[in-house]
Amino acid sequence: MDTKRLWKDVLGNIKISISAANYQTWFSQTFITSIKEVGEGRQIIEIGCSSAFIADGIEKRYVGLLQDTLNQITGLKNDIIFVVKQNPQIQEKLDQPLFTLEKKGGEEIVTSALKKGRIRQGFTFDNFAVSGTNQMAHAAAEAVARNPGNAYNPLFLYGGVGVGKTHLMLAVAQRVLEKDPDVSVLYCMGEEFTTEIVDAIRNKTTILFKNRYRRLKLLMVDDIQFIAGKTAVQEEFFHTFNTLQREGGQVILTSDRPPSEIERLEERLKSRFEAGLTIDISPPDFELRAAITLIKAKERGIELEMDVAQTIAVNIDSPRRIEGFLTRLFTEAKLGEKTIDIDLVTKLLGITNGEARAFKKPLSAQQVINAVSDYYSLGKRSLLGASRTQTIALPRQILMYILRIDLGLPLQEVGRLVGGRDHTTVMHAVEKISKNLGQNSGLQEDILGIKKGISP
């Protein structure tokens, strides 16, 4: 068994199950040191960790998730042993001479600059799929990459999980460094910024912290909402932000909500965040999910048929879940020596071939409203009204889910269409239906029936 390939697939699944910060902390330096078969469909897998702290942390927090993922991918029962050992590949890099930059080619210089700025490779404008749900954010990010510090400063992107906020942020950094690898850029999570400033205060190294952050030409902070409620952290970020803007530096921020809705965020920070360009990135619609599926497959060297990509796209509404499903699909095909076709996809999705093909993209919001009203035999006045009885509330939540996920309408627009409701009500409805969809076959059948009624 190819241990590197197996571990890459395992980490791919884990990455979509935990936060990016936790993944970076616990799993980024792990690797498989050995696999020993013990018979009767069982094997022992030894996992190398860079320190006893990491080994103990994974064993306490994630051993169940890790074991389930290994069992699913390998088709065997796996016992896990954690050992403290350095990854040979990382050690080999550490042993190389420090000052060899001038001998490298242009591409290697950019790669080195990306690593220095904590920027993951592979996130570019070229492999970012664009549709109506993210077109404005994509255009704004490209404008910032062309003219950082002047186009939109700050650029504030917000939206749900997996809509492409981080991808666009890192694509800006990639483009900027391709033009000038000497530009000082830095990417960090809001949680990481918080930890660093707390450590700097504790260790009396705030001067070093300030020098590091306030001399940047491009600062990117993911999940900025994590600094809310932390007085000292907000104070430092306020002064860092002001200094960067005064010196012509570019700031890009992401969050799961707009600045005005981040609780316990100081008003002076809210006003500065809103002074630039704030853009909502909606969940991807059907066409965008299909494009993402094709792009992610191509990155792994696999060309999918269009009907296969569309089947995946209409049944999975999150790009991260699509990526996780592709990992499972490719692993199943490789280990079972199977062809990736519509039959294998529908089998893994747990649906029939006919059901998969029945899904189509709704044509308009009014058609969706009519279809939901007809399917549940409800009058539009009742469906869009104030009643909270279960027989009406559930169809209304399904209506909001389809308008948001399949049509990609903004939260405010969905709320307006469904009786003038607040966008938080729409968010709650979408989250509830999304959570129950994989567990409730009756709910799946209802949504399938509604979509059949509005297919072109």
Question: Which band of pLDDT confidence, cut at 50, 70 and 90, is reported for residue 135?
Answer: confident
pTM: 0.57
- Residue 33 pLDDT exceeds 80: yes
Q: What is the pLDDT of residues 356-381, one digit of tens each?
A: 444 445 468 888 899 999 989 888 88
| Largest interatomic CA distance in the chain | 74
Q: Which residue has the higher pLDDT, 204 or 107?
A: 204
Q: Which residue has the higher pLDDT, 297 or 15?
A: 297
Q: What is the predicted pLDDT for the residue at 106? A: 56
- Highest mean pLDDT among 57-61, 75-79, 112-116, 286-290 belongs to 75-79
Question: Which band of pLDDT confidence, cut at 50, 70 and 90, is reported for residue 107?
Answer: low
- Residue 279 pLDDT exceeds 90: yes
Question: Which band of pLDDT confidence, cut at 50, 70 and 90, is reported for residue 1?
Answer: low
Of 227, 230, 214, the closest CA to residue 255 belongs to 227
Q: Check whether 165 is labelled as a binding-site residue.
A: yes
Q: Is the dihedral of CA 357, 362, 367, 368 positive or negative?
A: positive
Q: Check whether 217 is labelled as a binding-site residue.
A: no
In the sheet with 250-255, reading across from the earlier edge strand, the strands are 185-189, 218-222, 250-255, 155-159, 277-281
Q: Which residue has the higher pLDDT, 232 or 285?
A: 232
Question: Which band of pLDDT confidence, cut at 50, 70 and 90, is reported for residue 94?
Answer: very low
Question: Which band of pLDDT confidence, cut at 50, 70 and 90, is reported for residue 98?
Answer: very low
What are the structural domains, with CATH classification, of the chain? 3-91 (3.30.300.180), 105-281 (3.40.50.300), 286-358 (1.10.8), 365-453 (1.10.1750.10)
Q: What is the predicted pLDDT for the residue at 156? A: 96
Q: What does each C-alpha distance from 17 to 52, 66, 255 come to in angstroms?
A: 23, 11, 19
Tell me the C-alpha distance between 387 and 285, whole Å.
29
Q: What is the pLDDT of residues 140-170, one digit of tens each?
A: 999 999 999 887 889 999 998 888 899 999 9
SS percent in the chain: helix, strand, coil, step 5: 60, 10, 30
Tell me the C-alpha distance between 71 and 80, whole Å.
11
Question: Rounded mean pLDDT of 309-333?
Answer: 84
- Residue 265 pLDDT exceeds 90: yes
Residues linked to residue 158 through DSSP beta bridges, in sequence order: 255, 280
Report the percentage of the chain scoring pLDDT > 90. 25
Q: What is the pLDDT of residues 417-445, one digit of tens each?
A: 999 998 888 888 887 887 776 566 678 77
- Residue 96 pLDDT exceeds 80: no
Residues linked to residue 78 through DSSP beta bridges, in sequence order: 43
Q: Check whether 164 is labelled as a binding-site residue.
A: yes
Of 141, 229, 154, the closest CA to residue 191 belongs to 229
Mean pLDDT for the chain overall: 83
Question: Which band of pLDDT confidence, cut at 50, 70 and 90, is reported for residue 226?
Answer: very high
Question: Rounded mean pLDDT of 290-316?
Answer: 84
Left, alpha or beta for 141 (phi > 0: left; psi -120 to 50: alpha)?
alpha
Q: Check whether 149 is labelled as a binding-site residue.
A: no
Q: What is the pLDDT of residues 375-414, one digit of tens each?
A: 898 888 889 988 888 889 999 999 998 888 777 778 888 8
Question: Which band of pLDDT confidence, cut at 50, 70 and 90, is reported for residue 88?
Answer: low
CB 253 within 8 A of CB 155: yes
Question: Rounded mean pLDDT of 242-271?
Answer: 93
- Which residue intervals of 62-134 are DSSP H helices? 63-74, 88-94, 106-116
- Residue 235 pLDDT exceeds 90: yes
Tell me the C-alpha distance between 193 and 190, whole Å.
5
